[in-house]
């Protein structure tokens, strides 16, 4: 054999060994390879803080095999192709496409310079004391700002607009805070003010704020050492903020470029329906029933540079918004922002597809992973729902564990909470004179319960801490105080008491059922896995795990 041929043979063998696919398990049509295993092993080590040893590796491989069995069961039940499954797959595809676009087209351009980090550090070491007035809409906020410019005081306006007794009585005072304590737009506006200045209306996540800066305290003794110690944390927080800023600026700019014009008559009609019932994850047909006018689906809600948006298209877009996004709609301004958001999202998705972001391997793997997680969850939910606990078992548990179903001592109280000692002294004097506890609560208490004449509703006595024994000893209408807690002065009056007692079986039956289902769930899952295993071909090779390395 020639020397050159021998070299070629050795290289050929080495090359083929290097590229040979390592198969760790085969479950029906699923194959578990080295890459999938190592990904899960790393994740398990990170989440559970466990070492890399043979036992852990075998456990990870078995977990992957079990998940493949669950996926086989999901497909047998058509969980991947039924309406719920297809809708979830579409939702996950949309969300991952939006995330991919955001990362590649927006966040990748965010630059956090050393100067920005130093500025943020200085801001974090600077405490502000401010007051604010809240408004739900820009129009209301502008009105408040104009009244302030005319000389109306914060205290007068806060009495009118705040339902929170603390903010109402303290002129919207927020106390001292630092830059990262507040949301981005509020913090930016507040830190741009000089002491005594009032901001123009600032749009926040919940509406608008008009801010008055009372005080600014700068830490003059910060050192380079302190900066270096805090730098990593500051940079991380700053990056989050700058990412949010970049995403918002991009969305605002895109919405402006799309030249969205709302059809007010259709807009008003839809808003009235939204006020009556927030649109949830219903089919389009149910939406139209809700709207009580099938012809409305053809109406144009908005015209944009890229074409009209009909009510039907709007409703199809709504289905892939979250409940929290829909729940945010409280007024017409919110509703308009919601529509703008859906239109810009549609444009972003089109752009992402044009750029081929939905064709990448990482994108497809991410969607597959999340969809498989959803399918496994559905299988496990079905297993749990199919667990039947007989009534006699429920009754037996109730009898044998009666100590679990004893309700605690409960007391319904009225409270008066104030911050100043002179106020507490005045209230004490008034109570001793026979003044109504309820009237004093309404007039002086900074607690949210003031609107209910101080009534808290029933609370477990154990939650009253060190005061529990003496408070539960109160008779109805008897009061005591002031108690001092967290720099507050608190007066309490007993309204009604309920002593501990054994709850009825009927009241706790569902709770017992859930407890017993949870106790038997793991065994039910194992039983299902055993059943699936008996119906499919499985080959597992745990001996190969010792030769798997991260390299």
pLDDT score for 156: 85
Give the whole-angstrom CA distance, residue 485 versus residue 507. 36
Mark which of 303, 332, 361 sits at the end of a domain.
Answer: 332
210 and 273 in one domain? no
Around Cβ 369, how many Cβ atoms within 10 Å? 13
Q: List CB contacts of 453: < 8 A, sequence separation 6 or more.
A: 414, 438, 439, 441, 442
pLDDT score for 428: 95
The arithmetic mean of pLDDT across residues 345-373, rounded, is: 95
Does residue 436 lie within any of the structural domains?
Answer: yes
The arithmetic mean of pLDDT across residues 501-517, rounded, is: 95
pLDDT score for 193: 95
What residues form DSSP beta bridges with 494?
413
Helix ranges (DSSP H) in 80-207: 83-101, 114-124, 138-149, 154-161, 165-169, 184-191
Q: List CB contacts of 74: < 8 A, sequence separation 6 or more.
A: 80, 375, 376, 378, 379
- pLDDT tens for 247-299 read 999 999 999 999 999 999 999 988 887 765 555 544 555 555 656 666 778 89
Cβ–Cβ < 8 Å for 207, 220 = no
Mark which of 185, 218, 251 sits at the end of a domain.
Answer: 218
Task: Indicate the pLDDT class of residue 551, thresholds 50, 70 and 90.
Answer: low
Q: Which of 353-357, 436-440, 485-489 has the lowest mean pLDDT?
A: 485-489
Question: Would you list the DSSP string of 304-368?
Answer: ETTEEEEHHHHHHHHTTS-HHHHHT--SHHHHHHHHHHHHHHHHHHHHHHHTTTTSSHHHHHHHH
Give, in order, the Cα–Cα distances in Å from 477 to each of 412, 439, 493: 11, 14, 6
Q: Is the pLDDT assigned to residue 4 strictly greater than 60? A: no
pLDDT score for 283: 52
The arithmetic mean of pLDDT across residues 125-147, rounded, is: 92
Give the whole-angstrom CA distance, residue 234 versus residue 231. 5
pLDDT score for 278: 52
The arithmetic mean of pLDDT across residues 392-410, rounded, is: 94
Cβ–Cβ < 8 Å for 74, 376 = yes
Average pLDDT, the chain: 89
Give the whole-angstrom CA distance, residue 11 versus residue 212. 76
Q: Which of 70-74, 79-83, 215-219, 327-331 has the lowest mean pLDDT?
A: 327-331
Does residue 435 lie within any of the structural domains?
Answer: yes
207 and 270 in one domain? no
Q: Is the pLDDT assigned to residue 401 strictly greater than 90? A: yes
For 282, half-sphere exposure in the C-beta direction (CA atoms, 13 angstrom radius) is 13
Does residue 494 lie within any of the structural domains?
Answer: yes
- pLDDT tens for 253-262 read 999 999 999 9
Helix ranges (DSSP H) in 33-137: 34-48, 54-76, 83-101, 114-124
pLDDT score for 268: 92
Task: Indicate the pLDDT class of residue 8, thresholds 50, 70 and 90.
Answer: very low
Task: Indicate the pLDDT class of residue 341, thresholds 50, 70 and 90.
Answer: very high
pLDDT score for 114: 94
Task: Indicate the pLDDT class of residue 13, thresholds 50, 70 and 90.
Answer: very low
Cβ–Cβ < 8 Å for 234, 118 = no
Backbone angles phi, psi at 205, to 5 degrees: -65, -30
**126-135, strands of its sheet edge to edge:** 173-177, 126-135, 207-218, 202-204
Give the whole-angstrom CA distance, residue 525 versus residue 523. 5
The arithmetic mean of pLDDT across residues 343-359, rounded, is: 96
Give the whole-angstrom CA distance, residue 388 versus residue 398. 17
Q: What angle do CA 119, 124, 125 make, to 5 degrees?
A: 100
pLDDT score for 6: 47
Q: Which of 109-113, 235-239, 324-328, 532-536 has the lowest mean pLDDT?
A: 324-328
pLDDT score for 82: 96
Instruction: Show the domain range for 200.
Output: 126-218
pLDDT score for 111: 92
pLDDT score for 80: 97
Q: Which of 58-72, 133-147, 153-167, 408-422 has the lowest mean pLDDT?
A: 153-167
Cβ–Cβ < 8 Å for 497, 459 = no
- Closest CA relative to residue 437, chosen from 470, 129, 445, 30: 445
For 274, half-sphere exposure in the C-beta direction (CA atoms, 13 angstrom radius) is 23
CATH code for the domain of 441: 3.10.50.40
Does residue 247 lie within any of the structural domains?
Answer: no
pLDDT score for 171: 75
pLDDT score for 289: 63
Does residue 121 lie within any of the structural domains?
Answer: no
Mark which of 499, 514, 539 sits at the end of a domain.
Answer: 499
Q: Which of 166-180, 190-204, 427-441, 527-541 has the lowest mean pLDDT?
A: 166-180
Helix (H) or strand (E) holding 175: strand 173-177
Give, in order, the Cα–Cα distances in Å from 237 to each of 124, 129, 303, 355: 11, 21, 39, 31
pLDDT score for 2: 52
Q: Is the pLDDT assigned to residue 100 strictly greater than 90? A: yes
- Closest CA relative to residue 540, chosen from 18, 72, 66, 71: 66
Q: List CB contacts of 97: < 8 A, sequence separation 6 or more.
A: 349, 352, 353, 357, 358, 363
Does residue 323 lie within any of the structural domains?
Answer: yes
**23-27, strands of its sheet edge to edge:** 30-33, 23-27, 538-540
Percentage of residues of the chain with pLDDT beyond 70: 91
pLDDT score for 322: 82
Give the whole-angstrom CA distance, residue 242 versus residue 249. 10
Give the whole-angstrom CA distance, residue 379 versus residue 77. 9
Torsion (CA) 490, 494, 496, 498 in degrees, nearest 10 = 70
Question: Would you list the DSSP string of 471-540?
Answer: HHTPPTT-EEEEEEETTEEEEEEEEEEE--EEPPHHHHHHHHHHHHHHHHHHHHHHHHHHHHHTTS-EEE
Where do we find the tokens 């006018």? 293
Give the whole-angstrom CA distance, residue 228 versus residue 541. 50
- Domain count for the chain: 3
Q: Is the pLDDT assigned to residue 173 strictly greater than 70? A: yes
- Closest CA relative to residue 222, chosen from 178, 175, 192: 178
Does residue 531 lie within any of the structural domains?
Answer: no
Q: List CB contacts of 262: < 8 A, sequence separation 6 or more.
A: 301, 302, 336, 339
* Cα 8 off chain centre by: 60
Task: Indicate the pLDDT class of residue 15, thresholds 50, 70 and 90.
Answer: very low
Q: Which of 9-13, 155-159, 209-213 has the lowest mean pLDDT?
A: 9-13
pLDDT score for 166: 67
| Tokens coding 166 | 């603390």
Task: Indicate the pLDDT class of residue 482, thresholds 50, 70 and 90.
Answer: very high
pLDDT score for 11: 44
169/69: higher pLDDT: 69
Give the whole-angstrom CA distance, residue 4 versus residue 202. 78
pTM: 0.80
270 and 186 in one domain? no
pLDDT score for 532: 96
Q: List CB contacts of 206: < 8 A, sequence separation 6 or more.
A: 134
Does residue 447 lie within any of the structural domains?
Answer: yes
pLDDT score for 319: 83
């Amino acid at each position: 054999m020639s020397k050159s041929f021998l070299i070629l043979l050795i290289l050929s063998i080495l090359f083929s060994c290097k590229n040979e696919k390592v198969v760790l398990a085969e479950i029906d049509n699923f194959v578990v390879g080295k890459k999938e295993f190592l990904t899960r092993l790393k994740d398990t080590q990170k989440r559970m803080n466990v070492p890399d040893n043979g036992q852990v590796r075998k456990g990870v491989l078995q977990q992957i095999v079990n998940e493949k069995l669950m996926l086989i069961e999901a497909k047998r039940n058509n969980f991947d192709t039924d309406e719920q499954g297809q809708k979830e797959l579409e939702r996950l595809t949309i969300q991952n496409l939006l995330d991919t676009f955001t990362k590649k087209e927006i966040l990748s351009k965010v630059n956090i310079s050393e100067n920005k980090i130093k500025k943020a550090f200085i801001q974090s070491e600077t405490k502000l004391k401010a007051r604010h007035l809240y408004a739900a809409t820009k129009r209301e906020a502008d009105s408040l700002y104009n009244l302030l410019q005319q000389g109306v005081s914060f205290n007068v306006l806060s009495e009118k607009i705040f339902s929170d007794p603390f903010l109402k009585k303290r002129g919207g005072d927020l106390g001292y805070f630092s830059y990262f304590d507040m949301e981005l737009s509020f913090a930016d506006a507040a830190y741009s003010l000089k002491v005594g200045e009032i901001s123009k209306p600032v749009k926040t996540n919940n509406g608008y704020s008009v801010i008055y800066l009372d005080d600014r305290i700068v830490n003059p003794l910060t050192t380079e050492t302190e900066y270096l110690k805090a730098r990593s944390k500051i940079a991380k927080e700053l990056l989050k903020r700058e990412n949010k800023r970049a995403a918002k600026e991009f969305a605002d700019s895109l919405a402006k470029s799309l030249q969205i014009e709302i059809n007010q008559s259709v807009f008003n009609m839809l808003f009235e329906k939204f006020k009556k019932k927030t649109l949830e994850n219903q089919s389009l047909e149910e939406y139209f029933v809700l709207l009580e006018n099938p012809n409305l689906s053809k109406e144009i809600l908005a015209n944009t540079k890229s074409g009209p948006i009909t009510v039907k298209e709007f409703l199809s877009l709504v289905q892939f918004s979250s409940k929290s996004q829909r729940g945010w709609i409280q007024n017409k301004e919110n509703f308009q922002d919601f529509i703008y958001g859906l239109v810009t999202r549609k444009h972003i998705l089109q752009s992402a597809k044009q750029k081929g972001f939905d064709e990448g391997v990482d994108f497809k793997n991410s969607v597959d992973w999340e969809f498989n997680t959803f399918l496994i969850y559905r299988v496990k939910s079905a297993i749990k729902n199919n667990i039947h606990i007989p009534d006699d078992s429920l009754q037996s548990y109730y009898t044998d564990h009666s100590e679990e179903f004893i309700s605690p001592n409960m007391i319904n109280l009225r409270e008066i909470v104030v911050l100043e000692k002179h106020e507490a002294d005045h209230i004490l004097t008034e109570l001793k004179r026979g003044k109504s506890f309820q009237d004093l609560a309404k007039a002086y208490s900074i607690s949210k319960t003031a609107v209910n004449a101080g009534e808290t509703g029933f609370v477990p006595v154990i939650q009253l801490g060190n005061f529990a024994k003496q408070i539960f000893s109160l008779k109805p209408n008897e009061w005591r105080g002031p108690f001092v807690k967290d720099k507050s002065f608190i007066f309490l009056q007993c309204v009604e008491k309920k002593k501990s007692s054994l709850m009825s079986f009927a009241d706790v039956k569902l709770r017992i059922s859930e407890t017993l289902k949870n106790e038997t769930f793991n065994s039910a899952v194992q039983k299902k896995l055993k059943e699936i295993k008996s119906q499919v071909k499985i080959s597992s090779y745990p001996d190969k795990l010792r030769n798997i390395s991260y390299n």
